[in-house]
Chain A
Amino acid sequence: LAKTTQPISMDSYEGQEVNITCSHNNIATNDYITWYQQFPSQGPRFIIQGYKTKVTNEVASLFIPADRKSSTLSLPRVSLSDTAVYYCLVGSLGTSYDKVIFGPGTSLSVIP
């Protein structure tokens, strides 16, 4: 899987939009980009997935430029409950994954 690089930590005030960028320079043609959220002592939870351009769901948006070497997770109007670690994963969809390696993730702290 393509190696990913994210900021280690970010702080934000409640109600602000938060953008977390992930670099994946070695992304392959068949690779998708998936973001997960993890709270302490819980398993990662799926947030959003995309291949190119922009994807939006009820909780976040994912922006992927044309070269796909990076992606940005956008969380609108964060609340205290969005304090968590966010992981960017890059891999190909198919009948199975060869490996799923996590990077260090981004620890987001939302401040009242």
Chain B
Amino acid sequence: GAVVSQHPSRVICKSGTSVKIECRSLDFQATTMFWYRQFPKKSLMLMATSNEGSKATYEQGVEKDKFLINHASLTLSTLTVTSAHPEDSSFYICSASRVPTGELFFGEGSRLTVL
């Protein structure tokens, strides 16, 4: 079946540094990818919708300058948490919509801990 890979699965960084999380669709093309944030025992919260070759669409309340999203190819989207602070610690999940069926596949998530 289709696979979406996220890397790294876990990352620990110091406050003030930037962290990049990659989301790859391994065996299909994805014109649209979604980035989510999930707090403990809560549902997934949509952060932004990423379309290949264009700027991401951010949900209300999500800081564009803090969470930089790039979708440069049909198989890769990246989320960069800039100048990370402890409150950015969370579980980040991406999903990819397969062309042309639109089926959604999710990555395994990336656990970010900011010290």
Q: Which residues of A contact B (CB under 8 A)?
A: 34, 36, 41-46, 85, 87, 89, 92-105
Question: Closest Cβ of chain B: how far from A47's Cβ, in Å?
Answer: 12
Q: Which residues of B contact A (CB under 8 A)?
A: 4, 6, 31-32, 34, 36, 43-46, 49, 51, 91, 93, 95, 97, 99-109, 111
Look across to chain A and name the residue whose beta carbon is closest to the beta carbon of B103: A93
> In the docked arrangement, what's the CA distance between A103 and B45, Å?
9
Contacting residue for A41 out of B32, B34, B91, B107, CB 8 A: B91
> In the docked arrangement, what's the CA distance between A109 and B104, Å?
26
Query: In the complex, are the beta carbons of B101 and A43 less than 8 A apart?
Result: no
What residues of B have a CB within 8 angstroms of the CB of A87 in the complex?
Answer: 43-44
Question: Closest Cβ of chain B: how far from A35's Cβ, in Å?
Answer: 12
What residues of B have a CB within 8 angstroms of the CB of A103 in the complex?
Answer: 43
